[in-house]
Amino acid sequence: MAARDGYVLGIDFGLKHMGIAVGQTVTRTASGLTTLQARNGKPNWSEIDQLVVQYRPIALVVGLPLNMDGSGSDMSERADTFAQHVARHTSLPTYLADERLSSWAVKDDAALTGDIHARSACLIAQAYFSDPSVCQLVEVESDLPAQPR
């Protein structure tokens, strides 16, 4: 995990929507920010760039949707690939965070406001602060093709 202070962007990966949250390492809290549209899991990269310029995060945290038994799925493979692309695209440390129950938790937590995607991203960013064991650093594969803009 990053040792310095600053912002962290949490990303709830989805094929049509990507929730975004911003977290602050000093307060160790996160807030839902926005939801970006995506096409088959590909965001508008200029929107990602704008968020990186605006917040200058020290790290990105992408939710990894594992099955309840901890096994992977097609969606977790796609989230992992997205995390590698975003790590390469931004050159920022990028982590994958186990998000197994984030959508259920969001639906059940009346204290969280905003749309479900941004709220889920908030829990993903919060996982980075709360339980480092659920986050793993993304190792960028050198043979990964560049993400088209």
Helix (H) or strand (E) holding 90: helix 74-90
Predicted local distance difference test score (pLDDT) of residue 102? 54
Q: For 103-127, write each residue's pLDDT tens digit.
A: 555 555 545 555 788 888 998 999 9
The total domain count for the chain is 1
Predicted local distance difference test score (pLDDT) of residue 144? 55
What are the backbone dihedrals phi and psi of residue 114, each rounded to the nearest 5 degrees, phi first? Answer: 100, -175
Confirm whether 143 is domain-assigned.
Answer: no
User: Do the Cβ atoms of 58 and 8 come closer than 8 Å?
Assistant: yes
Predicted local distance difference test score (pLDDT) of residue 2? 47
* pLDDT surpassing 50 at residue 143: yes
* pLDDT surpassing 90 at residue 131: no
Confirm whether 117 is domain-assigned.
Answer: yes
Confirm whether 142 is domain-assigned.
Answer: no
Q: Mean pLDDT throughout 23-35?
A: 94
Predicted local distance difference test score (pLDDT) of residue 132? 74
Assign residue 133 the CATH number of its domain: 3.30.420.140
Through-space distance between the first and last CA atoms of the chain, rounded to whole angstroms = 29
Q: Which domain holds residue 40?
A: 7-137
Confirm whether 1 is domain-assigned.
Answer: no
Residue 118: how many other CB atoms lie within 10 Å: 25
Q: For 39-96, write each residue's pLDDT tens digit.
A: 999 999 999 999 999 999 999 999 999 888 878 889 999 999 999 999 999 999 999 9
Confirm whether 14 is domain-assigned.
Answer: yes
User: Do the Cβ atoms of 88 and 32 come closer than 8 Å?
Assistant: no
